[in-house]
Each structure stands twice: as C-alpha cells, then as structure tokens.
Structure 1
C-alpha cells in the first residue's frame, strides 16, 4: 500500500516515520479542535505533575550539557572537523550566524525582549525580593539572560554538533537516530531508530507550532495597534494562514534562495530596530546597564543554573524556566539539524564557540537594549509597563515602542520582523521534518515539504484554540520531557564516538561491542586505523541493496 501511495503521489519517505508522525499530528488536530477544553485540562494536569516530579531533571540536564559542550570544545576533540580533514565551511561566518539566528530564536527574542524583563520585574523568582523594586529589576535582567543565553543555545548546539559529526564525519543519514549508532548499531534503521525519529519529528512540529502561535498572538496585538485588527481567534487563524502561505513559497524555493535571503534581510532589520531604540532611548543608561548586566549574569549564573525551588513554596519555575527549557528542547531537533546542515567544514571548537558565543552575545545586547529601556520607562517616566504586560504579554513590544518617536514606523518594522522570523522558522522546520521522514538516498520533494508546512500551520491554529499562552506552556512542557532524556543520551553517544575516532576505532567497532579504553594520556592503540571510510562504503552498499 505504501509503495502504491509513493508511486501515485510521487512521495519519497520512510513509511513508518512519515505515516506514523503525520497520523499522530492529524489525530491531535482532529481531537483537540472540537474538544479543546478537555484536552487543555489534560495537558495542564500532566504538565503540573511533570513540573513537580521532573522539574529538577530539566534544570540539571541543561546545565550539565552546557558543561559538557565547553569540555568538548576545550578538549583534544576540539580540532576534529565536521567532515573530512580538508573540509572547509560552505558559508561565511556572518552568513552562517544570520541563518542560525533567524531559524533559531529570532521569534523568541521578538516576543520576550520586553515581556520577559517586565514579567520578572512584576513577579520575581525569589519571595524575599519586592516586586517592582530595583533589586527585582537587577534580578529580572539576570534571569532573562539565563533563560535566553548560554542555556538556550546549549539545547540547540548539542544535537547540531552530534548530527553534523555523525553525518559529515561518518556518512550517516542526517537524522536524530544516527546519533545513537554507537549504542544501537544497525538497529537505527529499524523500529528503534524509527521511534527516535518520530519523537524528534513530533517535537519539531509541536515546538515550532508553539513559536508560530506565540508569534501570532504578538502579530495580532501589533496589527490591532497599527490597523485596528480585532484580537480574536478569527484574526489569529487568518494570520497563521498568511504565515503558512509565505512559508510554503519559501520552502518551495529551497535553502539558498528562500531561507538564506530571508534570514539575511531579517537580521539587518532587527539590528536596525535595536540600534534605533539605543539611539532614541536612554543611551547612556543602556550602555552602562549592558556592562553591568554581563557581570550580574556571570555572578548569578551558577546558582540559577542549579536552582530548583527546593526551599520555596512556589510554582514559579513551572511557568518560567521549565517551560522555556521544554519549549527549546522540543524544537532542538529542527534547529539542530538545520544548523548541522549549514555547518559542514567547521571544527568542533569553532562550531561550539560560534554556536554558543555569538548568539549569546547578541542576546545580551538585545535584552539589555529592550529590557533596560523598558525598565527606564517604568522607573523614570512613570509608564506602568510591567502591570500592562502582566495583563497582556503579547502586546508588550508594541506598548513599549509606543513610548518612543516614530512609533508607527517602528511597530511596522516589528511586525515585518516577526512575520519573517515566523516564516523562516516554519519553512526551516519543514525542511528538517522532511529530512527526518525520508531516506538519505532519496531526493527532497517540494510536495512533501509543503505538506509538513501546512500541517504545522494546522497544529499551531489548534494550539491557539486550546486556550492561549497557558495552554501552549502546558502542551510543550509535556512534549519536551522525552526529548530531554534523548539529549542526555546524545552526549553519552557522542563522547563514545569521539573517543573512538581519536583512538582510531570505527563506529562499527563500538556498535559491535568493541569499546576503546578511556586512556588519560590520549595515546592511540597499536592497531590499524579503521577510520570512517570502510564504514561509509558499507553504508553505501546497504543502501544499494535496499
């Protein structure tokens, strides 16, 4: 039956992954749309249970993976290239940065740049900090950078590094299941691998759908301010429809003509908006505060990274840190595969330094500019921004821009940036989901990428129907947990493979149970270097046989 469908519609796929993932996503839409209230209540209960009993696991895992990445980059493995020893990067560093940023957390920064500091000002994480105080403001900036700095990019960088290493260094398919070859061997081409890829695919679909949903709420608020568009579900559905249509066009054009050009255009507009706020806002205050923010962030990072509310009777982390980690983890497969695809030729040290450092540095400037300017309005000009944001989080950016000159023009720029960020997120996700659902020897089909883009739009619309921001937080907290466990095992698998690579063993040695000893001095054994080429030849022969 599957072969008949492939022949009739010209599809190229791994049937177990494609049909199972598509069926589960469609089933969710079919059930959640007419029964949105019971579904929302179910996810709320499960999310509460996960936050209570596994919140510590989210916190510890992400912090541990950050330490792991720093170790890998600084270790003897840092000089290994993602590809052959003579491979060089396909894209310039600037182009690479704009693409990974726009397809990474561009939408997140636009949504939370003002909302996050204002939310934490009104609702500090520690009970002994008075809301609205200067102490709350200082802590709000540190928490904002914690939520969107090194830890967020750790979640993206680890799968990107692992996928790039196994794909470009050892010729494995660019799928999440390939990372686990040292553990499962050829079983990644069967049910075990299919299960891993289905989890990754659904995580990508729902994680990006949450971003599209949040961006839609923000766009609706912006268009209400600019042209009076009503803020209701009908408007939200219309916005999702427009974004989905734009994403379909972009995904049909492909990576270079569509996503790269949109990414470069958008990062320029975003930087222009940031510079505009720095110039017309409290320039000296922002400049001084940026320097201080860096120091406060580095000072507070150690305790924030391990803080689990053990001695506080609070549910603060459920709606903040745990939600952010789960959300980021859910779409880590998409960002990971996308970043890996554009990162061939870089060394592990270059890759980790760039993927962690450059976006985090930009995040510091972004949150310092928008967050400090918002705090200045709150303290020096009597604008009750925090209270208004508490009532309506998506409108935060436009309430903020309203306080400065050229408000209509800057708000219009904000709307354009959000639309393009949503488009690049959706079309990049469609490319990645298509990679996960087809064999590596099959060409990508435009109709499959269009199908996934349309399904993503449908999931986003359904999530919005389920109850807005709270419902989005609950759904993603639940869906992020399985992939959080996969991230931990990724680090273990990657460590085994890197050590084997250094000592001259092949992946087949690991999969066959031949484990290299963990030597301290780093000496290679006196055995022939099995390398990766024989492995790649075996893979090619297997693909031809199939």
Structure 2
C-alpha cells in the first residue's frame, strides 16, 4: 500500500477525513477518549515529556556551541535567503503568533488567580505567574522547533535529501527512508500538522467572533464563525499559491509591524516602568529557577496544575514541532548551525517574553495595584474575550481592539500558509515546491475540520488528541537527536579528510580539488 508515489498523501488524507467524521458524528466520545488518553499520559508519562523537552534544549545548545556550530545548512558557498528580521518574522508567524494574542493576557492572569504554589491575588502570585509563563513560552518550546528545523535543514540542504521528516533518519536506516518506514513517519507528521492547525484556526475564529460581538454586538454564532473560516481559507490558499517569496514573506512582515504597533502602544500608554520591571524580574526568576521548574512533577499531590498547564504546553510544543520545524528548515538555507540556534531559540524567546511582560504584566498591574478585579473575573469567565476587555482600560480601545482582530486574522493566514506549504512538501515525498493542487486540497481539508469542530463542539477533544501524539513524536525526536549527531559527526570526518587532502596537495580552500570526473581517494 505504501509503495505508491502518492501513498503519503492518500493515507494521511484518509486519516484526516476519518477525524472529521469522528468530530462530526461522535464529538462527545472523541473528547472523552482524548481526555482519558491525556489523563493517562499525564499521570504515568509526565516525567518523560519533561525529560524529553530538557534533552531537546540541551542538544540544541550543544549543536550550536560545539564543533558543529560552523557547519552551514547548505553548501559552503550558500548564504541566507531571507534577512534576519524577515526570517524571525516568519518564525513567529508560522508558530506561536496567534497563540500570543489569545493567551497574552489570559494566561498570566490565570496563574496570578490560581498559582502553582502559594495563594492567588498576591504580589508573590504575580511574580510566580510571570515566571511560569516564561517557562511555558521560553527556550523549551523553541528548542522543540529548532531541533526538527536544524535536523531537516542539514539533511535537506547539506545532504540533498527530500524535504520530509523521514530524511532525518537517513544515517540510521539509509535508503529505507524511501520505503514504508519513512512514509509512515511522514503520515504521522502530516496528521499532527492537520490537527494542530485546524484546532488553532478554530480557537482563533472563536476569538475573532468574540471581538466582533464585544465591539459591534455581532452575535456569537457558528455560522458567523464558519464564514470567518471560509474567508480566511480563500485568502490563505491564494497567498500560499503565490509562494514563499510572495505573500507569506510580506504577510509575515506585516504581522511583525502590527504586533510591534500594538505592543508599543500598550508599553507607552500603560504602566511603562512596571512593565520593564516585570520583564527584568521575570527573566531573572526564570533563569534562576529554569532547571527546577523544568523537572517539577509534584509527586506528593495530584499534580493537577502541572498537568493542566506545563505538561499540556510541553506536549503542545512537541506536537507542533513537525510543522514549525519543517517550515523553519525550508526558510533557513545558508545559515550556520550556530546562527540558526541563536536566531531560532533566543531571539523569538526575547520577543515572547517582552509580549507577555507588556500584556500580562499590565493586566496583573491593573488587578493587583489598581484594584480592577473585574478584569480577573473576565479571564475566569471567558478567555476569548479577556484580551479585548483588557484593551478597554487604555485610550483608543476600539481602534486597538480592531488592530488586535486584524492581527489575529493575519496570524491565522500566515500559520495556515506555512502549514499548507509543509503539508504539500511532505505529502509529495519531500518536494520543496509542492503543486498548487495538493496545497489547495490540504487548505480545504483544514478549513473543513475547523468548521466541523466548531459546529459540533469537538475543538477541545481534538486539541487533547493532538497533545496525546506528543509521546510517539517525542520518541521520534529523541531518535532524531542521535541520527542528527551521527550525520554531523560524519560531516566533520569528511571535512577533516578534505583538509588533510588539500594540505597534502597544497590546494587553497575553495578551489576544486580534482576534475569533476575524478573522486577523492578513499
């Protein structure tokens, strides 16, 4: 069955359509099963998820700052296709942009109300809230993406293998990456991408509809939400067809401009000094407690807080790693591994930390220092409206709410763009420039899943199912660490052999060693 050239496409499409059917006809059972699976994982394998994520971060740092750091993701003469600002913008847009808007206020306030340790609504709860927000959105998350990204970029651009995740396992299984083993790996990747982007599209749509209701009294209705998804789908399919150099690049730049505009406005119109103090205090607390927070399992109580937040987030980052990592690999040709790690792990983290300090720090300041308890109640009642109610405390709130909705919509489009592009690449056996037909089909399937889930109320069930895929994916990623290390070690050995041979023949680096018809001696 898996020998057909289009087998990955057909099999993953069949599984995706089966998921739509489950979400449409038995959403309650899907959610019950997903929640049971999630509960089992948290109770029995939470320690494994925490340990795996810490290993991914440690491995990424080792690659970036060791003997492998100078290796270029491509030929030695290749240089980056995109400037650093555009590249970072595309990283954000493909990954967590839409989630930052959704959780920017809601998450820090939720932790402040109900902290992992201590009592809520206190100064200590405020500090703890920012510390844990930084854990969930910090280097651990970006290391999951960077691991997949650097591994795939190395094998794709340096070793000239197809741009499918199965290529990363070439040092271990050789040409079998083109057979059934490789194709089943790609099917798992496609499924995690489809579920991930469909659930994000669904939750983002709910937030936009809530914003419209809040501003203009438009009803919160599944038909309005379906219309929003339909409009966004037409835009992202059209922009994906225009390619990476076209709409995806320009939309990513627009995203960053809008996000900076919104963040800059709150920074200067809000409690500027408090925000800056929150940023520095939060980073200090995060760095100081990074290891203990990363391994916190709460073995002597039910561990509900860790399960509901930390394990959920870490599972979510692992589940999203194939999508974001594949897209990051595609746009990172020409960078050295050291450049890649600094750019893909630390720069986005600083951006995320600043966003949460501005939005979350201001929100907690309003509640803790200004006594605005209504904002806390709004977060408890409905997280989708929290961001809009927060903006009400600032001047030009209506304009800012519209800007926030536009930002969510553009993040929608860029996230879906990158997802459809990666789905096209993987389902066409690693074709770096997939056909418009394949991208269009996946674009429609993602929209259909999101609409069905909204209508049937199956969003949280599928979200839980996605996090449950973190176990097989994290095992795959641990094997990927070994395979990438093996591949990079072989690359270093080749470099040493070439240097030795050049020295022997006194040939200057950069000049051809031998005529194209001859080979380097064994």
Q: Please classify the TM superposition score into its range, dividing by the shorter chain length.
A: over 0.9
Give the SS at the match of 1:321. helix
For 2:425 and 2:122, how far apart are their aligned partners in 1?
A: 49
| 1:199-238 Cα deviation digits (max 9, x unpaired) | 0111111111122122112112111112222223333222
For 1:441 and 1:323, how far apart are their aligned partners in 2?
A: 33
Instruction: Choose from 230, 235, 260 the match for 1:246.
Output: 235
1:104-253 correspondence to structure 2 within 5 Å: 104-126=95-117, 129-253=118-242
Aligned-pair CA distance for 1:43: 1.1
Q: Say if 2:8 and 2:429, in contact at 8 Å, map to a contact too.
A: no
Instruction: Choose from 291, 309, 312 the match for 1:302.
Output: 291
Quick check: 290-299 or 458-467, which moved more?
A: 458-467
Aligned-pair CA distance for 1:441: 6.0
For 1:101 and 1:487, how far apart are their aligned partners in 2?
A: 22
Q: Which residue of 1 aligns with 2:506?
A: none
Aligned-pair CA distance for 1:465: 4.1
| 1:244-272 Cα deviation digits (max 9, x unpaired) | 12211211211111111111011101101
RMSD after superposition: 2.2
1:80-479 correspondence to structure 2 within 5 Å: 80-126=71-117, 129-384=118-373, 385-440=375-430, 444-467=434-457, 470-479=460-469
Q: Which residue of 2 aligns with 1:40?
A: 31
Aligned-pair CA distance for 1:273: 0.3
Q: Which residue of 2 aligns with 1:69?
A: 60
Q: Provide TM-score, normalisation by structure 2.
A: 0.92
For 2:210 and 2:432, how far apart are their aligned partners in 1?
A: 43
Q: Which residue of 2 aligns with 1:519?
A: none
Q: Which residue of 2 aligns with 1:542?
A: none
For 1:472 and 1:143, how far apart are their aligned partners in 2?
A: 25
Instruction: Choose from 458, 475, 482 the match for 1:485.
Output: 475
For 1:62 and 1:412, how far apart are their aligned partners in 2?
A: 37
Evaluate the alpha carbon distance shift between residue 293 and residue 468 of structure 1 in structure 2; reply closer, same or farther with a 3 A threshold.
farther
For 1:333 and 1:185, how far apart are their aligned partners in 2?
A: 21
Evaluate the alpha carbon distance shift between residue 109 and residue 247 of structure 1 in structure 2; reply closer, same or farther with a 3 A threshold.
same
Aligned-pair CA distance for 1:56: 1.3
For 2:432 and 2:62, how far apart are their aligned partners in 1?
A: 36
Q: Which residue of 1 aligns with 2:507?
A: none
Q: Which residue of 2 aligns with 1:541?
A: none
Aligned-pair CA distance for 1:301: 1.2
Give the SS at the match of 1:320. helix
Q: Say if 2:12 and 2:187, in contact at 8 Å, map to a contact too.
A: yes
Q: Which residue of 1 aligns with 2:18?
A: 27
1:48-67 correspondence to structure 2 within 5 Å: 48-67=39-58
For 2:257 and 2:458, how far apart are their aligned partners in 1?
A: 31
Evaluate the alpha carbon distance shift between residue 124 and residue 469 of structure 1 in structure 2; reply closer, same or farther with a 3 A threshold.
farther
Evaluate the alpha carbon distance shift between residue 526 and residue 336 of structure 1 in structure 2; reply closer, same or farther with a 3 A threshold.
closer
For 2:498 and 2:307, how far apart are their aligned partners in 1?
A: 49
Q: Say if 2:87 and 2:331, in contact at 8 Å, map to a contact too.
A: yes
Quick check: 278-287 or 223-232, which moved more?
A: 223-232
For 1:15 and 1:40, how far apart are their aligned partners in 2?
A: 31
Aligned-pair CA distance for 1:374: 0.3
Q: Provide TM-score, normalisation by structure 1.
A: 0.88
Q: Say if 2:57 and 2:143, in contact at 8 Å, map to a contact too.
A: yes
Give the SS at the match of 1:331. helix
Q: Say if 1:290 and 1:365, in contact at 8 Å, map to a contact too.
A: yes
Q: Say if 1:107 and 1:422, in contact at 8 Å, map to a contact too.
A: yes
Q: Say if 1:206 and 1:330, in contact at 8 Å, map to a contact too.
A: no
Q: Say if 2:192 and 2:469, in contact at 8 Å, map to a contact too.
A: yes
Q: Which residue of 1 aligns with 2:5?
A: 14
Aligned-pair CA distance for 1:404: 0.9
Aligned-pair CA distance for 1:527: 9.4
For 1:141 and 1:353, how far apart are their aligned partners in 2?
A: 23
Aligned-pair CA distance for 1:282: 0.6
For 1:219 and 1:120, how far apart are their aligned partners in 2?
A: 24
Q: Say if 1:78 and 1:349, in contact at 8 Å, map to a contact too.
A: yes
Quick check: 272-281 or 330-339, which moved more?
A: 330-339
Q: Say if 1:247 and 1:423, in contact at 8 Å, map to a contact too.
A: yes
Aligned-pair CA distance for 1:442: 8.4
Q: Say if 2:153 and 2:332, in contact at 8 Å, map to a contact too.
A: yes
Evaluate the alpha carbon distance shift between residue 447 and residue 75 of structure 1 in structure 2; reply closer, same or farther with a 3 A threshold.
same
For 1:51 and 1:16, how far apart are their aligned partners in 2?
A: 34
Q: Say if 1:319 and 1:473, in contact at 8 Å, map to a contact too.
A: no
Gaps of 5+ in 1: 4-12, 506-522, 538-546
